[in-house]
Amino acid sequence: MQQPLINGRFAERFNLSSPIALAPMALATGGKLAAACARAGSLSLVGGGYGNLDWTQREYNDGINLLGDNKQDLSRLGCGFISWKLEEDRSAFDWILDQDHRPAAMMLSFGDPTPFSKILCDRKIPVICQIQTMAQLPQAVDAGASVIVAQGTEAGGHGMNDFEGRSTFTFVPEIADWLAKHSPDTHLLAAGGITDGRGALQPH
């Protein structure tokens, strides 16, 4: 019997055996962690964060080298950046696009993704947009996001506080309803306070 999350649309689209994306945690998701997660079957996004060129080059290359002997695992490696910072310096973003390895996906968070998502869409690289409010959703979909990450205020690291953002528990279903109506092919991931498989995969 098919397990809808494990064998679902997201896993199928990105050739995953685990329906999870490793967050591109700025300066924290390095090549070794990304390679380990790719080998474990998840989508793995190096934490390009604020666009530090040296760090991104070293860690992304590390991931490529560690995964180089297995095309399937390597095909799960991508990167993520903070959009408002890319507006100041996009050298690391441009460097990724110049590499032979085509990123499995590029994640854009915090700011208007549009200028960068257009470049990615033109190259047919899947765009993942992480958002914190319903108001950001139409912009992310119009920007060409293949995947929306609904980030609740429970999220660690970067995100909105309790006054400005939404709880994961209520935010995710509201986005799911909106997508079902307006953009049913867009994938949806939840982020924030999901700590283990019991939160990610509901038994049935």
Footprint on this chain of ligand FMN (rule: CB under 6 A): 23-26, 28, 47, 49, 80, 82, 107, 109, 130, 151, 154-159, 191-194
CB nearer ligand FMN, residue 67 or residue 189: 189
Amino acid at 89: D
Q: Least distance to ligand FMN from the beta carbon of 13, Å?
A: 19
CB nearer ligand FMN, residue 119 or residue 194: 194
Question: Which string of b and e fits 34-58 if b means at least 16 CB within 10 Å?
Answer: bbbbbbebbbbbbbbbbbbeebbee
CB nearer ligand FMN, residue 32 or residue 71: 32
What does the block give as tokens for 129? 């947009």
Backbone angles phi, psi at 137, to 5 degrees: -65, -50
C-alpha gyration radius of the chain: 16
Shortest Cβ contact with ligand FMN: which residue? 157
Q: Least distance to ligand FMN from the beta carbon of 28, Å?
A: 5
Q: Least distance to ligand FMN from the beta carbon of 189, Å?
A: 9
Closest CA relative to residue 107, chosen from 28, 164, 167, 43: 43
Q: Least distance to ligand FMN from the beta carbon of 25, Å?
A: 3
CB nearer ligand FMN, residue 74 or residue 155: 155
Q: Least distance to ligand FMN from the beta carbon of 182, Å?
A: 23
What are the contacts of 9-13 at 24+ separation with CB within 8 A?
A: 9/187, 10/147, 10/187, 10/189, 13/126, 13/146, 13/187
CB nearer ligand FMN, residue 27 or residue 180: 27
Only one residue has tokens 């899947």, namely 126
